[in-house]
Structure 1
Amino acid sequence: MKKGSEFIGSPIIKANNELLDFYVQEPIYCTSKSRVLGLLVQQHLKSKEKFVIQYKKIKDFNSNGIVIQHESEILSPHQVPEIEAALNRTTAIIGFEIYGVSGDLVGVVKDTLIDLKSGKIVDLIISEGVLTDLMQGYSIFPLSNSIDFNQNNIIVDYNQFQNGILYHQGGLKKMLGIEQHNKQKL
């Protein structure tokens, strides 16, 4: 698994380890399928024009960058209608507010965890507020059928949210050695 933010800035390389003059700007998400459709890429210093790589065309992820078979797999967004449509919608997911079905704000998406083989979003990394983040670190919420992605936010069943959330056990509690051994909040 890899955080969605870890794609950003990654160089694109060919299968023969030839470094291409492209880097990743951001993942392109499809909220209805809870997966990454592709990567938005740009050439270094040459142009402001944006290109895309379909996720299914990625051969490997290694310490040198993101591996594709051939440079011809870097396309203009209009060549891939599904990706072009996603780019015309709000699909960033990062920054989406998470609301319970009753309308109460329960968190904000800070990142995603992605299964590298399938491109599926497995978990959301969320903030539950400054104090909670400071004391416990960000939390992880596994994706499930109880999540409804709207245009700019996410609706969840609050009970399933509370029962499904996994705390990082980070923040000040970890630094000070006073980790919490249960899911109880401060």
Structure 2
Amino acid sequence: MVKGRELIGLPVITLDKGEQIANIQDVIFDPRNSKVLALVTEEKGWFKGARIIPFKNIYKIGEDAVTVETSDAELNANDLAEIEKFSDEEINVIGTTIITESGNNLGVIEDIIIDIESGYI
């Protein structure tokens, strides 16, 4: 398990050439399915034109780096249909206050915890 904020700034290293191709800038997740869709490597607006690494293209997430097999793992966000549906709606859970159905304030979301094997939050 890793906190989403711990991924920010990590280098992305290819296994085939051992080269750094990017740094992680953000995490895109599907709140309806509680799963990470991709890691953002270059932001441009609200994901339109951004460069991403789909979660399925990640080889491993370590303490010091994210590894991918080749530089082809990095795509344009517009090329991934799963991301396209989120490009027009800004969803940011960080800072959201959580209230139970009975009206009890549970607190504010400060981070997300990600299962690094499955991508589930």
Same-fold call, TM > 0.5? yes
Tell me which interval the TM-score lies in, with the shorter structure as reference length: 0.7 to 0.9
Cα displacement string for residues 51-95 of structure 1 (whole angstroms, at most 9, x for unaligned residues): 111001100123441111111121111100111222432333211
8 Å CA contact 1:28, 1:91 repeated in 2: no
Structure 1 runs of 4+ aligned residues shifted over 4 Å read: none
Bigger Rg over Cα: 1
Match of 1:30 in 2: 30
Structure 2 gaps, min length 5: 44-48
- CA distance in structure 2 between the aligned counterparts of 1:51 and 1:41, rounded to whole angstroms: 5
Q: Aligned runs of 1:3-82 on 2, under 5 Å?
A: 3-16=3-16, 17-20=18-21, 22-42=22-42, 50-82=50-82
Question: Residue 145 of structure 1 aligns with which residue?
Answer: none
| Alignment partner, residue 46 of structure 2 | none
How many equivalent residue pairs?
115
Paired with 1:109 and 1:2, the residues of 2 have a C-alpha distance of 15
Q: In 2, are the aligned partners of 1:29 and 1:86 still within 8 Å (CA)? A: no
TM-score, L = length of structure 2: 0.84
Runs of 5+ consecutive residues of structure 1 not aligned to the other structure: 44-48, 122-186
Identity %: 30
More helix by share: 1
Higher RCO (CA 8 Å, separation ≥ 6 residues):
2
Q: Name the Cα RMSD after superposition.
A: 1.8
* Contact 2:42/2:51 (8 A) holds in 1: yes
* Per-residue CA distance 1:84-128 (angstroms, 9 max, x = gap): 22243233321121011134432110011111000001xxxxxxx
Matches within 5 A, 1:110-129: 110-121=110-121
CA distance in 2, matches of 1:60, 1:8: 15
Q: Give distance in 1, aligned partners of 2:84 and 2:42.
A: 15
1:34·1:120 contact (CA, 8 Å) conserved in 2? yes
Whether the aligned pair in 2 keeps the contact of 1:29 and 1:92 (CA below 8 Å) is no
Structure 1's 90 and 63: CA in aligned 2 closer, same or farther, altered over 3 A? same
